Amino acid sequence: MPQLLEPKLISGNANRPLAEAIIGRMSMHRGMEVGLVDARVERFNDGEIFVEVFENVRGEDMFIVQPTSNPANDNLMELLIIADALRRSSAARITAVIPYFGYARQDRRSKARTPITAKLVSNMIVEAGIERVLTLDLHATQIQGFFDIPVDNLYASPVFALDVMHNFKGQMDDVMVVSPDVGGVARARDLAQRINAPLSIVDKRRGKPGEVAEMTVIGDVKDRTCLIVDDIVDTAGTLCKAAEVLMENGAKEVHSYITHGVLSGPAVDRISKSVMKNLVISDTIQPTEAVAACKNIRIVSTAPMFAQAIMNTWNGTSVSSLFNHKALKPIYEGMYSG
């Protein structure tokens, strides 16, 4: 087997700008120009996906950058077919870099006669020949156990901590981290500990599925700058309602830090009309034109973190070191300096 000279990245169509940003950061790390592997990922007239890799990948350490965001099924199939093409081309190792892992919300049987789709998807990924998964903020951390291969689950909270300390400098005494529901307390607590801020919870009670009947704030948010923390924002109905409840309880202003901006349906319109001053999301999902144009939505890059994680995976050093926001600070120095 030839020596692995460098990690090689290939991208599907789900979020090519993120893949290009990652490869740009890797070029900085290695002091040489690194490019995406030349390939085409196209569709036949009936929608079937076709992949052709134009470069030799025999014996190479391959990384596929492909979130399974909307359209989830198409992007998932692209990931699987790219993996199959690489496996049949004798790649030495295939790592799937899945910034947003779709179907993660279906991680258990919440009702009778329902699937555990996250497990099904994990089985498909393993069967396609993928040997390692690198992802960010899984909806439920136990999904790592659904895979029979190593899974590195990075966290957005170190990046968000750097962003908060940079943008709220001089106001940190007023900041309070808020979990939008009881299930997200651990995620919110993690950010609160990183920035040394108190924690509050919005307890929601549903009258019927998909409809919030009542929200109660647990904790004193009066005259506080509240930061709502969660992993996914979809239609943004609950998020905007939580922001209203916080303002009604005396909050000075409300911001939100959400890892994955799914933002489907009326989400952007709701956010633009919301009492929230800012919604901060990561670039794990390629933003639509409406999201990019919305004045109170700001996007934070995950490319520096993913680039470093890929380099660490390739050279056999620790990925868990990136869980510490102090370790990430030099990587994000250009974004949060001064």
Catalytic residue ranges: 204
Tokens of 43: 């569709």
Q: How far apart are the first and last CA of the chain?
A: 47
Question: What is the DSSP pairing of strand 253-261 with strand 278-282?
Answer: parallel
What does the alpha-carbon distance between residue 250 and residue 184 come to, in Å, rounded to a whole number?
22
Percentage helix, strand, coil for the chain under 3-state DSSP, each rounded to 5: 35, 25, 40
Give SS3 for 107. Answer: coil
Closest among 83, 92, 181 to 139, alpha carbons compared: 181
What does the alpha-carbon distance between residue 320 and residue 62 come to, in Å, rounded to a whole number?
21
Cα angle 212, 218, 220 (rounded to 5 degrees) comes to: 130
Give SS3 for 36. Answer: coil
Sheet of 7-11: strands edge to edge?
7-11, 61-65, 93-98, 132-136, 151-154
What does the alpha-carbon distance between residue 40 and residue 50 come to, in Å, rounded to a whole number?
8
What does the alpha-carbon distance between residue 45 and residue 155 come to, in Å, rounded to a whole number?
39
Query: Which residues are CB-neighbours of 293 under 8 A, at least 6 positions away?
Result: none
Cβ–Cβ contacts within 10 Å for residue 52, how many? Answer: 10
Closest among 99, 105, 158 to 331, alpha carbons compared: 158
